[in-house]
Structure 1
């Protein structure tokens, strides 16, 4: 099984617990959460980090839906978050991510801003993108909370 081999590359201790439909639930002692879910229809999607943001500062972010162009894996997708100070516009983030993710396809779901204070272990999500509209800050907060355990995550619809 391809997924088992993929898991074993991460850890020889990874164990597949249940296979239901196209989801694989596995145990991996090297991860913060012991139980994880992978979509067996697309190993490429499983290798895409869910969150990639700058280590500190205030910057724009976007949520993206990433999916394969493969008809066999139709319906397989993942939501990711990207935010970088170096990008002046939300569309700059999209262009950069789209190029990095090839051959996968992606579409923007909305944007906003993030204030990341690593010393205080705080991340504040707020605002909107003029080009893509407001991202679902609740979804962004969940993704960030999973990537930054121990951080205080707050959201607001105020501000640009």
Structure 2
């Protein structure tokens, strides 16, 4: 079942713009293996839980459990190859942006990726 964790990408975010994101811990049911993933999209509208509701079904279909660790916003500038992580979720609290940045770095290898505790 741990191989199911490997099937889930570390980070998936919209290709451009400023949008909400969440940091999610996925783990093997009845096991200790887990990994954290980042998901962000403009389609979430005003609420971070809309991202979680979209992320959960395909992950649970793999036999994994999901737990949202917090949220924030990502500013993605694909032209300049820059990502900036900031802010917090009203419903889930602030994600550990340093963890989120490490996940983003594993996918966006040639990007400059920064974070701050600024709310806006």
Alpha-carbon distance between aligned partners in 1 of 2:54 and 2:38, rounded to the nearest angstrom: 13
- What residue number does 1:155 align with? 115
**Other-structure match for 1:122:** 82
The one of 61, 68, 92 equivalent to 2:50 is: 92
2:28–2:64 Cα contact (<8 Å) kept: yes
CA distance in structure 2 between the aligned counterparts of 1:131 and 1:125, rounded to whole angstroms: 18
Map of 1:144 onto structure 2: 104
Distance 1:64 1:135 in 2: 9
Of structures 1 and 2, the larger Rg is shown by: 1
Which structure exhibits the higher relative contact order, with contacts defined as CA atoms closer than 8 Å and separated by 6 or more residues? 2
Q: Which runs of 5+ in 2 are unaligned?
A: none
Q: Which portions of structure 1, spanning 4 or more consecutive aligned residues, are displaced by more than 4 angstroms?
A: none
Aligned residue number for residue 3 of structure 1: none
Alignment equivalent of 2:23, drawn from 53, 63, 86: 63
- The 3-state SS of whatever aligns with 2:43 is coil
Secondary structure of 1:86's partner?
Answer: helix
Equivalent of residue 77 in structure 1, options 19, 24, 34: 34
Quote the offset at 1:118 in angstroms.
0.3
Aligned pairs, number: 117
Say what the alpha-carbon RMSD is for the aligned residues: 1.0
